[in-house]
Amino acid sequence: MINIDKILSVKGGCSTVVVCNQNNITALREGIFTKQQVDFVKKEYAERKVKEFSFNELQDYTLLYIVEEDEIIYQNKEKYRRLGTKALMFCDDKNITDLQLQSDCSKDMILAFAEGMLLSSYIFDSYKTDPKRCIHPFDNLHVCHKDISQKDLESLRIITQATEKCRDLVNEPATVIDAQTLASEFVSMAQETGINVEVWDKEKIEKEKMGGIIAVNKGSSCPPTFTIMEYKPEKHLNTNPVVLVGKGIVYDTGGLNIKTGDYMNDMKSDMAGGATMACTIYAAVRLNLPIHIIALIPATDNRPGDNAYANGDIINMYDGTNVEVVNTDAEGRMILADALAYAKKLNPAVVIDAATLTGAASRAIGPYGIVAMHKNAENFMEILKTCGKRTYERIAEFPFWEEYNECIKSDIADIKNSGEKYAGMITAGKFLAYFTSYPYIHLDIAGVAFNEKRDFYNRLGATGYGIRLLIEFLKTYHN
C-alpha cells in the first residue's frame, strides 16, 4: 500500500496534481502553473471542455483534473475517487514515485480522490514468478489541503488497509485458506488489535449442535471452525451490540449438487462475507470507534466427499429447527443459520450478515451494488442505504413480503433450504430470517465481492466491497 501524509505547501522537485471543479478554474495558481499553462487550460476547457491535463516539467509532471460537480454530492465524490484511479495509473505509466496533491475543493471531495488512489494501488501478484510482475513504482502521496489533517489521512489509510487485508484473504487459493487457516488469520488480526477472539473447533461445534455447519462440512477432509470476535470499548455508545455475521465457505463445489462449467472458477471467493466482517471489526478497533461490535464467522468448505450431506437429508439446526435439504449448493445459508440463531443469546441491537449467497442477486442488479433485505430493521436499513451512497457501495433493497415465506415451507420438515425458481435472493433471505428474533439486515454481496475485470479502484479479483460501507454505518450509528 502507498504511503500518505499531510504537507503544508507544495514545493519544487516533486510531481504535482491539482484538482479543481468547474467553478474555480479561474483560481489556478501561477507558481504551480505558468501563465501560459493557465491560459491554455482555460481556453481548452472553454472551447472543448477538456478536463484532464498533464504538463511535462522535464524531471517531474504537473497534472490538472477539472471535475464538473453537480447537486448530487455522493455522485461527485465518486467522480473524485475515479479520478484518483486515473492519477495512479498515470503515475505508474510515467514511473512517478512521489506525488503531491493540492486543491481548494472541499475536504470530502479531496479525501475521496486520495481514497481512489489508495484503493487503486492494490495488486495481488505474489504467485507471479516474473521479476517484472506488476509492482507499483508509485510510493508516496503528499496532501496539501487546509482542512485535511494527518488524522483524516490516517483514518483513510486504516480503512484502506482493512480493505486490502480482505482482498488478500479472498484472493488466496483454497490450498492456502481453508477453514482453519482462515480462523488463524482472524486470530492474528485480533492479537494485533486487542480484539477478544474465540475459535470453536469441530468438537465444540458438534457439542453445541450446530447442525448446519456440521452438515455442510461432512464431505470435507478439513474440519470447520466458528470464530467469535468481540470489540467492547470501555466507553461504548450502544447499550446492545451490533453483531456482524459473515459467510465463510472457503471453497464451494456445490457439494453433491456439483457446479458445472465455469461456475466453480471463482469459488475461492465464497468466504468473502466472513473476510468482510472480520476486516470491518479490525478496522473499527484501529479507528477507536466507540461501538460494541461482535463478529460471528462460521467456516468450512463444501465438497462432495464420501459422507457429504445430500438432498433429502433432514438437518437439525442450532436452535432445534429441522431443515429439509433440497439443494446442497444452498450451503451458505445452512452455516449462516446456525450463527444467526447463536446471535439471539447476544441480545443484539441489530444483526447484519454479509454473504456471497445467490447468483440471483448478481443477475438482478449486476456488479453495481448489494442486494439487501431487512426484518424489523427499517431505521437501520435507512442509515445503511445513506452510508451506501456516501461510500458508493450502494444498496438495492428488495421486498420481504410475507408471501415469500411460502417458498421455503417443507412438507416433511419445518422449512427447506431452497425456495422456488423465482426470487432466489429473497427466498434465501427468508430462510435466514427464519432463525432471527431481532432487527436483522441481510446483505447479498454475490455481485460485488469478486470482479472478473477491473472496475476503476476495484481491481480484478477480490474487491473488499462492504467494509467502507459498514465502517461508515458504525461511525453514524448509536442507540
Q: Which residues have a catalytic role annotated?
A: 259, 333
Residue with cell 479490525: 282
Pairing of strands 15-21, 60-67: parallel
Classified as helix, coil or strand, 152 is helix
| Contacts with 407 (C-beta within 8 Å, 6 or more apart), sequence order | 419, 420, 423, 427, 430
Cross-sheet strand order for the sheet of 415-416: 314-316, 322-324, 415-416
Is residue 441 within 8 Å of 372, Cβ to Cβ? yes
Pairing of strands 322-324, 314-316: antiparallel
- Gap between the Cα atoms of 376 and 400, Å rounded: 11
Q: H or E stretch including 185?
A: helix 179-193
- Gap between the Cα atoms of 236 and 179, Å rounded: 31
List residues bridging with 441 in a β-sheet: 352, 374
Residue with cell 449438487: 257
Phi, psi of 399 (to 5 degrees): -65, 155
| Contacts with 308 (C-beta within 8 Å, 6 or more apart), sequence order | 218, 219, 255, 256, 328
Residue with cell 478496522: 283
- Gap between the Cα atoms of 215 and 307, Å rounded: 9
- Gap between the Cα atoms of 250 and 174, Å rounded: 6
Q: How many CB atoms lie within 10 A of CB 232?
A: 13
Written as nine digits, the cell of 390 is 456516501
Is residue 3 within 8 Å of 154, Cβ to Cβ? no
Residue with cell 479561474: 26
